[in-house]
Chains A and B, each alone.
Chain A
Amino acid sequence: MALLKITSPHVHGTNSTSRVMAKVALACAPGIMALTLWFGFGSLCNIILCIGFCLSFEAIALKLRQRDVRFFLSDFSAVVTALLLGIALPPFAPWWLIAIGSFFSIVVAKQLYGGLGFNPFNPAMVGYVVLLISFPVEMTTWLPAMANSQGLGTIEGLAQVFAGHAFTSLDAYTGATPLDIVKQNSSAVLSDLYQQQSVFKNSHFAGTGWEWVNLAFLGGGIYLLWRKIFTWHAPISMLGTLAVLSALFYDGGSSSSPGSPLLHLFSGGTMLGAFFIVTDPVTSAVSNKGRVVYGIGIGALVFVIRAWGNYPDAIAFSVLLMNFAAPFIDYYTQPRTYGHVKKPGKPSQK
């Protein structure tokens, strides 16, 4: 009998896409825990709904595209997208908001482009930005961090999620994020601001709760770096650029200061963005050098939008903008191939 005929290589590493995705999901865990600890069950609730919607949309889209649903679902990429979207949305986001976000993430941003690997834009960020532009009010009401004890009760939270409207009493709970405060501030010097505003109560440098959330995501990111899920190039260059720029423009904390480097690094979605969104391989530049450029671009855009733009946080916009630029970056940062003097890609040959 004839033997099996396959071309080389015949051995394969233990790596698999589902494993990569599972590790990414696992690395999100500390960040989600911190979120839950400081902001209540809201994010968890988001995530569960997101996963439900995303998987359903993915399955439907795959079915319509006549793909093997189980095989493609098993790459877990939809789960990761759902996780990131759920984390990014304000806690206890209404269910319809989540449904719309999931739809745009999975169906529009990913499946319509041909599925995993073919999407030019980060799906979670597309979903997020669509919501941010369409429903600015719902998207910008973050709960203040209250360390659970006085936090929004689960029942009330769920009511907001499913009843579609907030209880009046909830207004009391809604509040601005540290980045909002710094952005809207026009009179107080930063040190006073830190004293007055409750978001900075008990905080060390970047707002109550936020610093812990960011540290947790940083921890997850370091785990992924250690497991070689991605290289350091994109996240570190993004964080580095953000730190350098915010240090340059800090001006000692006057009333018009855009905020300290620590505030920028550890508030808002910085760490989540750096290690879980900027590192999205599908939509970033491909070579290491390219990823450095890509990271620098995002870091700079984040700072520019935060300091002078209209949105207090800017990860999503910056990432999408740099997704645009990725093919160009690829073109100019192709690594030098073995045995070549000049860079490839340029019309130097012949």
Chain B
Amino acid sequence: MRQIWDIPGGIHPPENKTQSTGDAIANIPLPAEIVLPLNQHIGAPAIPCVAVGDKVLKGQVVAEAQGLVSAPIHASTSGTISAIEQRFIPHPSGMMSDCIVITPDGEDQWTTLHPVPDYKALDHAELVALIRQAGIAGMGGAGFPTAVKLNPRADRKVHTLILNGTECEPYITADDMLMRERADEVVAGTLLLAHILGTPETILIGIEDNKPEAIAAMQAAVDKHAQQSRGIAIDVVSFPTKYPSGGEKQLIQILTGKEVPSGQIPATIGIVVQNVGTAVATYRAVTFGEPLVSRITTVVGETLKQQRNIEVLIGTPVDHVLTLHGYQAEKKSRLIIGGPMMGFTVEHTNIPVVKTTNCILVPSNEEIPPTQPAQACIRCGMCAEACPANLLPQQLFWYSQAEDTEKLEQHNLFDCIECGACSYVCPSNIPLVQYYRASKGTIRQQELAKKQSDRARQRFEFRQERIAKAEAEKEAKRLARKKAAEEAKKKLAAQAGNEPEKNAATSSAAGSTTPVPKTPEQASTGATDTNQLPKLERALSSAKSREERAQQQLAEAKANGEDARIEPLSARLKQAELKVKEAEEKLKAYQQGENLPSSAVPEKLQQKLSLSPRQKAEKNIETLQKRIATAEEKLAEAEQANASTTDALRQGVEKLNQKLAEAQRELEATAEDGITAEKGAAAVDAPTMSAAEIAIAKAQAKAAAQASMSDDEKNQAQIASLQKRLDKARERLAKAEAENNDNIDAFRIGVEKLEAKLAEAQQPQTTP
């Protein structure tokens, strides 16, 4: 006898297994339709490869596996594809999912199969491929694609293969009946699995001691196999009945005394566990070429006239099964897919049997009465006594209620196998597992969110770094440039000695058409040139700060769960990002341009400078009109979106309009040239003018005054007015900030612009 180990905890719920073991495994008539969900396994759903109206044969692939952890789906009978649509599937959430619906033709005709009577002729990869193509997924309930499990990493030698015939859940007898009736196939499947895994030294078939018939049958089959002496020893091990000894980790502990490290798979410690049903399916898939199209399912519960195990086609609707077993709906308490401990209830009977459906349980109200209301946890510790994973369920419950995720993880919430033993024994009827599931869900979500924000932060930090680097480079370049400029100046000064006459000649030749002398022009272009860089940098940095702010706000909104704000904020962030990019590009372009000799100063600038006042004014009007158009567009947009910036935008439009008016007046003024001053003065005196006329007149007067001012005076006046405006804008910004107004951004932009303008205005004097 092999040594066996005990697991901590565990419970002994009423087994309720005899109801369904009286009859042999039966077959049932074909249903009116077969519904094949595309996702019956853990992993990516399969992709349909048939179309509505196609005729399919039993065993034909109707949906292909997608990726490594996935499984294909086969037609479980011959017929016509009548639909590919959303149907209810057996899932705890009661959700709908894509299904392929087949209308059977009643022939149940197989497609051509490719049996491999001697699997030893195939190599490992071919066998795994065969199993993958057969669409086999763990039949014990979890539904992990079997082929993946049979393909452990090369560096992990599997030394123990365990066949799980425990079936510790009450009511379920599918594996029990399978072992009783098809023991030879189980042994054959075991040998095949052993072969695929490179013949592990130890091969065990674990069965709870409440299934003496199954143990006897398996022992006989194993003995028979041993007589044929094929050289591989299989041990049938029985152990005391206790729930949940059939859990993969628990079974490993019982049979080997080892524990699977937390968060790892059994293959890490050289162990592979397969369900006995899976072994049979694998055997049939290889030897007879039959894909997984049917399974053994226990149909049990007091609302049924007949309780037994059936071999049922995958995709058979549950209501079809229930009707055939004399379902009395009036007695029902719930419909459970799986066992009473770990199964889940579904609200509809119009769901199909899938690859993992090991039990359909429809108990009566007396059999499984409705749950009692939960009382307070008295911390009696009975749950901890029952927990097979050695957790402290009462603490987990406590922290789950408090949503203390840190403590939950500290108490190893994720090692909970959701067996339900704790809930079962809890005298206060607390639905502990429900709390754990909920907490696990939230923690997973939080982790996902954290990962995303981490990534965002990394990206941000990376960018900051990049910017800092770029800045440093820029600084270096600027220094170099300055030096170069100085040298150039010196050279220029040296050349100046030869130049004057030429200069004078050109200026005199050009006459009145170019009133601006050339040297100042050069100087001024130089000035704008050097102005340009800090301006661009400023633009960039302000764009960046805006972007940061937007990011911050967005993060805040997300953290506070203000869904309504997230969308506009992310839109704003995107805009800000675009602006940053633009600014960066401009700066870069500028820097590149700067490396060119100074003679290559942008033509546009020169053009602008060489324009006559009239042309200038006209041009000014043109650009202003353009700007107004875009501003108005923006305003309309904002109004439509009901954005908070509407007001600011409106103000902008108004201002632009004013400017336009001003510019037009200026144009007029230039047209009338010298007389404007007198005319303006006279106009002010006129007593019969309307308000509008007064305004116009005032503006004209201003323009005239400006025109009559010397350049310097003009400049100073401009600076003063700019400063006034700036002060006002700053005030407004401060107020907005104090009130946490939504328009802060708009105000800030305004201030920045004004600052830039002011700096520009001041520049010519500081850099003569």
Instruction: Say if the beta carbon of B389 comes within 8 Å of chain A.
Output: yes
Instruction: Say if the beta carbon of A77 comes within 8 Å of chain B.
Output: yes
Residue in contact with B378 in the complex, picked from A71, A72, A282, A344, CB distance below 8 Å:
A282
Please report which residues of chain A, range 1-52, place their CB below 8 angstroms from some CB of chain B when the two chains form the complex. Answer: 2-13, 15-17, 19-20
Closest Cβ of chain B to A1, distance in Å, is 8
Instruction: Say if the beta carbon of A337 comes within 8 Å of chain B.
Output: yes
Residue in contact with B343 in the complex, picked from A10, A20, A281, CB distance below 8 Å:
A10
CB-CB contacts of B310-343 with A at 8 A, as 1s and 0s?
A: 0000000000000000000000111110101111
Contacts of B335 in A (CB 8 A): 3
Q: Which of A17, A230, A339 has the most CB of B within 10 A?
A: A339
Instruction: Say if the beta carbon of B264 comes within 8 Å of chain A.
Output: yes
Contacts of B228 in A (CB 8 A): none
Contacts of A230 in B (CB 8 A): 380-381
Closest Cβ of chain A to B293, distance in Å, is 28
Residue in contact with B334 in the complex, picked from A5, A229, A334, A341, CB distance below 8 Å:
A5
A284–B381 CA distance with the chains assembled, in angstroms: 10
CB–CB B392/A286 < 8 A: yes
CB–CB A12/B424 < 8 A: yes
CB–CB B391/A337 < 8 A: yes
A275–B261 CA distance with the chains assembled, in angstroms: 38
A7–B336 CA distance with the chains assembled, in angstroms: 10
Closest Cβ of chain A to B17, distance in Å, is 14
Instruction: Say if the beta carbon of B411 comes within 8 Å of chain A.
Output: yes
What is the chain A residue whose CB lies nearest that of B418?
A8
Residue in contact with B395 in the complex, picked from A9, A117, A229, A286, CB distance below 8 Å:
A286
Given A12-B423, A15-B382, A287-B384; A334-B392 close (CB under 8 Å)? yes
Given A75-B375, A344-B410; A13-B433 close (CB under 8 Å)? no
Closest Cβ of chain A to B481, distance in Å, is 50
CB–CB A20/B344 < 8 A: no
Contacts of B342 in A (CB 8 A): 8-9
A339–B391 CA distance with the chains assembled, in angstroms: 11
Residue in contact with B249 in the complex, picked from A6, A75, A228, A338, CB distance below 8 Å:
A338
CB–CB A335/B428 < 8 A: no
Interface size class of B (residues with CB under 8 A): 35 or more
Contacts of A11 in B (CB 8 A): 13-14, 170, 340-341, 368, 424
CB–CB A16/B372 < 8 A: yes
Closest Cβ of chain A to B532, distance in Å, is 51
Instruction: Say if the beta carbon of B426 comes within 8 Å of chain A.
Output: yes
Contacts of A202 in B (CB 8 A): none
What is the interface of chain B mostly: helix, strand, loop, or mixed?
A: loop
CB-CB contacts of A334-350 with B at 8 A, as 1s and 0s?
A: 11111111001100000
A2–B329 CA distance with the chains assembled, in angstroms: 11
Contacts of B338 in A (CB 8 A): 8
CB–CB B389/A10 < 8 A: no
Stretch at the interface among B58-66, B74-82, B154-162, B345-353: B345-353
Residue in contact with B347 in the complex, picked from A2, A10, A229, CB distance below 8 Å:
A2
Instruction: Say if the beta carbon of A151 comes within 8 Å of chain B.
Output: no
Q: Which of A4, A9, A339 has the most CB of B within 10 A?
A: A9
Contacts of B94 in A (CB 8 A): 5
CB-CB contacts of B406-441 with A at 8 A, as 1s and 0s?
A: 000011100100101001111111010110010000
Closest Cβ of chain A to B429, distance in Å, is 7
Residue in contact with A118 in the complex, picked from B345, B376, B411, B437, CB distance below 8 Å:
B376
A9–B340 CA distance with the chains assembled, in angstroms: 6
CB-CB contacts of B254-266 with A at 8 A, as 1s and 0s?
A: 0000011111100
Q: Which of A2, A20, A338 has the most CB of B within 10 A?
A: A338
Closest Cβ of chain B to A216, distance in Å, is 24
Closest Cβ of chain B to A284, distance in Å, is 8
Contacts of B372 in A (CB 8 A): 12, 16
What is the chain A residue whose CB lies nearest that of B332?
A3
Contacts of A337 in B (CB 8 A): 262, 389-391, 412, 415
What is the chain A residue whose CB lies nearest that of B412?
A337
What is the chain B residue whose CB lies nearest that of A71?
B373
Instruction: Say if the beta carbon of B388 comes within 8 Å of chain A.
Output: yes
Instruction: Say if the beta carbon of B309 comes within 8 Å of chain A.
Output: no
A116–B334 CA distance with the chains assembled, in angstroms: 32
CB–CB A7/B433 < 8 A: yes
Interface size class of A (residues with CB under 8 A): 35 or more
Instruction: Say if the beta carbon of A330 comes within 8 Å of chain B.
Output: yes
Residue in contact with A17 in the complex, picked from B343, B378, B411, B418, CB distance below 8 Å:
B378
Given A17-B378, A335-B392; A344-B424 close (CB under 8 Å)? no
Given A338-B415, A345-B410; A286-B379 close (CB under 8 Å)? yes
A269–B345 CA distance with the chains assembled, in angstroms: 51
Instruction: Say if the beta carbon of B394 comes within 8 Å of chain A.
Output: yes
Closest Cβ of chain B to A236, distance in Å, is 15
What is the interface of chain A mostly: helix, strand, loop, or mixed?
A: loop
Closest Cβ of chain A to B375, distance in Å, is 5
CB–CB B92/A281 < 8 A: no
Residue in contact with A116 in the complex, picked from B376, B423, B433, CB distance below 8 Å:
B376
CB–CB B13/A339 < 8 A: no
What is the chain B residue whose CB lies nearest that of A5?
B345
Please report which residues of chain A, range 302-350, place their CB below 8 angstroms from some CB of chain B when the two chains form the complex. Answer: 330, 334-341, 344-345
Contacts of A340 in B (CB 8 A): 261-262, 412, 415
CB–CB B420/A8 < 8 A: yes
A53–B67 CA distance with the chains assembled, in angstroms: 69
Residue in contact with A8 in the complex, picked from B264, B344, B427, B429, CB distance below 8 Å:
B344
Instruction: Say if the beta carbon of A253 comes within 8 Å of chain B.
Output: no
Please report which residues of chain B, range 665-680, place their CB below 8 angstroms from some CB of chain A when the two chains form the complex. Answer: none
Contacts of B428 in A (CB 8 A): 16-17, 75, 117
Contacts of A231 in B (CB 8 A): 381, 385
Instruction: Say if the beta carbon of A219 comes within 8 Å of chain B.
Output: no
Instruction: Say if the beta carbon of A115 comes within 8 Å of chain B.
Output: yes
A16–B377 CA distance with the chains assembled, in angstroms: 11
Instruction: Say if the beta carbon of B217 comes within 8 Å of chain A.
Output: no
Closest Cβ of chain B to A261, distance in Å, is 29
Closest Cβ of chain A to B328, distance in Å, is 13
CB–CB A338/B395 < 8 A: no
Contacts of A4 in B (CB 8 A): 333-334, 345, 370
Closest Cβ of chain B to A229, distance in Å, is 8
A339–B269 CA distance with the chains assembled, in angstroms: 11
CB-CB contacts of B357-386 with A at 8 A, as 1s and 0s?
A: 000000100001011110111111110110
CB–CB B376/A75 < 8 A: yes
Given A5-B345, A338-B388; A13-B340 close (CB under 8 Å)? no
A340–B170 CA distance with the chains assembled, in angstroms: 29
A109–B641 CA distance with the chains assembled, in angstroms: 58
A227–B346 CA distance with the chains assembled, in angstroms: 37
Please report which residues of chain A, range 256-280, place their CB below 8 angstroms from some CB of chain B when the two chains form the complex. Answer: none
CB–CB B261/A341 < 8 A: yes
CB–CB A116/B378 < 8 A: yes
Instruction: Say if the beta carbon of B566 comes within 8 Å of chain A.
Output: no
Contacts of B382 in A (CB 8 A): 15, 228
Contacts of A228 in B (CB 8 A): 382
Instruction: Say if the beta carbon of B253 comes within 8 Å of chain A.
Output: yes
Residue in contact with A10 in the complex, picked from B336, B394, B418, CB distance below 8 Å:
B336
A231–B373 CA distance with the chains assembled, in angstroms: 26
A20–B382 CA distance with the chains assembled, in angstroms: 11
What is the chain A residue whose CB lies nearest that of B386?
A13
- Known contacts A6-B370, A13-B13, A281-B380; can you find 13 more A-B pairs with CB under 8 A? A3-B334, A4-B345, A8-B341, A8-B418, A9-B341, A20-B380, A71-B375, A281-B379, A284-B379, A286-B381, A287-B384, A338-B390, A344-B411
**7 A-B pairs in the complex with CB atoms less than 8 angstroms apart:** A13-B425, A17-B428, A71-B373, A116-B378, A117-B377, A286-B394, A340-B412
Contact surface of B with A, Cβ cutoff 8 Å? 8, 11, 13-14, 92, 94, 170, 249, 253, 259-264, 332-336, 338, 340-349, 363, 368, 370-373, 375-382, 384-385, 388-392, 394-395, 410-412, 415, 418, 420, 423-429, 431, 433-434, 437
Q: Which 10 A-B pairs have CB atoms at the shortest separation, nearest pair first?
A: A9-B420, A117-B376, A339-B262, A2-B347, A281-B380, A338-B389, A15-B427, A116-B376, A11-B340, A337-B412
